[in-house]
Structure 1
Amino acid sequence: MDADTTADATLSRIALAIGEPARTRMLLALLDGRARTSTELAILGEVTASTASVHLNRLKDENLVKVAAQGRHRYYSLRSMSVARALESLGVLAGRDREKFKPNTPEPLRFARTCYDHIAGTLSVLLHDHFLRESWLVHRTGGSNYELS
């Protein structure tokens, strides 16, 4: 098999992966640059959680998405900017605007909640930024850990 045939086969596999409507909806939901859980992507893809898992594995196998584990959750995002550009170009050809993601998490939980051993939500981000501005927290060199000052 020569390089052209291999490239043709790869392009065909990617087109098939993108061409399934649920997978397309999942990919378009990731265009905003935010990572999402498989549960969120199942809702946006309008499929069950188990079906979403199969679709996400296919997208991962075709190097369209990447996954990052955080605690007990796995967060999916687009593999690269080239994937985002390709999807945006296809969207132009399709002549469709995509809908904005609307979280179904209640507003009080989006504002403030605890998550295992830390706080989460909008309030936690505001506190984090305030603590850094006041120098109450300082980034440790070479990592994502903090030091109390």
Structure 2
Amino acid sequence: MVRVKSVEEAKKHLEQAVSLIPDRYESGVKAANWKEPALAGEDLFADMMSVVVSERRRAKGIEKTSDEDWRNRAVTKGKPIIGTRIRDALGRYASGWAPYRAAIEGVTLEPKTVDPMANIDRRVKPIVEALINKKKELLGS
């Protein structure tokens, strides 16, 4: 028979290691080469996602959690860090948004009419088209 630590013992050992984990994590991240292996695994990722979808794994996982449990975890985990994370990402947000803003700004809108459907065709769709084209351009597709 294989000896496996009890859940309590494994939990105790993890708890004792918690203070070591952040530095080890940082060290591992700094030494990692993630981009090349991640790109090399694209076909495997697509294959695995097909399996996940066909086996309804996402849905099965969702079904295990109630709305109340999800809300409680989201508030407990998210509330303390969301503001800091957003603040830390503001520069990336601004540089990511800038090309889309420029694309919108470059659209010449037709004058408004009394027909709301015509306004959608003449004023909304050109903006959507500009955003789609910009995204394709940025993604190289």
Q: TM-score, normalised by structure 2?
A: 0.28
Quick check: which one's strand share is greater? 1
| Larger helix percent | 2
Largest Rg, 1 or 2: 2
